[in-house]
Amino acid sequence: MGEKGGLTIQTLLVGVLGTNCYLVSDPESREMLVIDPGAEAERILAAIRAGGVKVAAIVNTHGHWDHIGANGEVKEATGAPLLIHEADAGITSPPADRLLHGEEELPLGRFKLRVIHTPGHSPGSICLYLPGVLFSGDTLFAESVGRTDLPGGSLSQLVSSIREKLFVLPDETVVHPGHGPSTTVGEERSLNPYV
């Protein structure tokens, strides 16, 4: 659990592929976004209850099974709307309550997270950004990138998404990826061998 710019970010490692599920909350408003509840719904729900917060939304960075596996249980328990990009809407379960297009701002108490559409790993991959923090899903990892050999994947599209939409962010932006450790935009611009 850590704080960044007043936000509280709790990371839960869930499922057989070790997906990072992020519980992002504004301590002042006691509102939370649940990002990528991939598995282990009971653990996620226990952490939500322990925080004493209201879930404003459940957001999938993309529609792959290891990021959406606990959607149904978390949605049912919290009553929160489920959000995913329209291009991945066909592979999520249960159906999303709101389809994203990119460039929306998702309110979270005092904060707004901007939706950045970053196709390449999947057609509907998104990242969530607010100054200082980026939740990159499976688009960008520490010294790696998301795989592009799955249906709808494209390496050229992924590289363009990263270069044109993520590497324009400030160097000190902390990147919280869908798998593995956190990094920064500056480190990835300098060290990532794939981009």
Tokens 């909350």 map to which residue? 25
Rounded distance, CA 114 to CA 185, Å? 16
Buried/exposed code over 5-30 (b: 16+ C-beta within 10 A; e: otherwise): eebbbbbbebbeeebbbbbbbbeeee
Question: Where residue 93 falls among pLDDT bands split at 50, 70, 90?
Answer: confident
State the pLDDT at residue 41.
98
Rounded distance, CA 42 to CA 21, Å? 13
Please report, for the domain that includes residue 170, its CATH number: 3.60.15.10
Question: Where residue 91 falls among pLDDT bands split at 50, 70, 90?
Answer: confident
Over residues 1-30, the pLDDT tens digits come to 565 568 999 999 999 999 999 999 999 999
Which residue type sits at 129? Y
Number of structural domains found in the chain: 1
Q: What backbone torsions phi and psi does residue 99 show, to the nearest 5 degrees?
A: -95, 135
Strands 174-177 and 183-184: antiparallel
Over residues 129-168, the pLDDT tens digits come to 999 999 999 999 999 999 999 999 999 999 999 999 999 9
Mean pLDDT rounded to a whole number for the chain: 96
Contacts of 48 (CB under 8 A, 6+ apart): 23, 32, 34, 55, 74, 78
Range of the domain at 9: 2-191
Three-state DSSP at 125 gives coil
Residue length, the chain? 195
